[in-house]
Chains A and B, each alone.
Chain A
Amino acid sequence: AQSVTQLGSHVSVSEGALVLLRCNYSSSVPPYLFWYVQYPNQGLQLLLKYTSAATLVKGINGFEAEFKKSETSFHLTKPSAHMSDAAEYFCAVSERGGGADGLTFGKGTHLIIQP
């Protein structure tokens, strides 16, 4: 069975600083990996996805993530944090490519941006 571990339930960074949110996964087959963002009282929005093409994936709002098979990781980064990045971030895995397949999510990381 697949699983996702997000290290750090809360991450606080200063505005303009590097954002690093950690995600490790477990999967019995080559996975598809995703990062979603959730703003208060809103649904989930896809930030970026890895679907077995390039290992460095660029997403919306300046975020990117790198798939590292040897480390079973898919960490999310952004070079310079903005106040509007404050939200809940979820890493998710799918074993059947997301085509008609439910996602397994991590517990989430709450990103706090300090002015």
Chain B
Amino acid sequence: EAGVAQSPRYKIIEKRQSVAFWCNPISGHATLYWYQQILGQGPKLLIQFQNNGVVDDSQLPKDRFSAERLKGVDSTLKIQPAKLEDSAVYLCASEGSERGATYNEQFFGPGTRLTVL
């Protein structure tokens, strides 16, 4: 079974530029998450999708960050314009929805490392 795919793996941009990250979840997984992991910290949830609808985006800085999941499969996360403090690893995770399961595991992709200069 293929895992969660993310691209690009690395990105370097200058502040005020725009950047987009892409995530392809595990086939059939209805739930998709984006996390931000700043160096030296644990991942922080940015947004959660259930199919193509947003479940939770309370921690997404909406003045500069946006995300979409068209057709309920792939997702893109965009930052426009980027700030120095956006330098981080952006992790995508997907989760199945097995009926009757006590817990459905989140599977994480390798992440995209963003450096803002």
Contacts and interface: CB of A to CB of B under 8 A. Distances in A.
Nearest to B10: A41
Nearest to A97: B103
Contact of A100 (B31, B45, B105): B31
A104 B97 CA distance: 20
Interface residues of B, number: 29
A100 B109 contact: no
A101 B35 CA distance: 12
B7 interface: no
A61 interface: no
Interface in A30-44: 32, 36, 41-44
A100 B50 contact: yes
Contacts, number: 68
B2 to A, nearest CB: 13
B42 A100 contact: no
Nearest to B50: A100
B27 interface: no
A100 B95 contact: yes
Interface string B53-87: 00110000000000000000000000000000000
A100 B106 CA distance: 9
A44 B103 contact: no
A97 B104 CA distance: 8
A24 B54 CA distance: 30
Interface of B: 4, 30-31, 33, 35, 40-45, 48, 50, 55-56, 91, 93, 95, 97, 101-106, 108-111
17 contacts: A9-B40, A41-B110, A42-B110, A43-B4, A44-B91, A45-B108, A46-B105, A51-B103, A53-B102, A100-B48, A100-B95, A100-B104, A102-B35, A105-B43, A106-B42, A107-B40, A108-B41
Interface of A: 4, 9, 32, 36, 41-46, 49, 51-53, 90, 92, 97-108
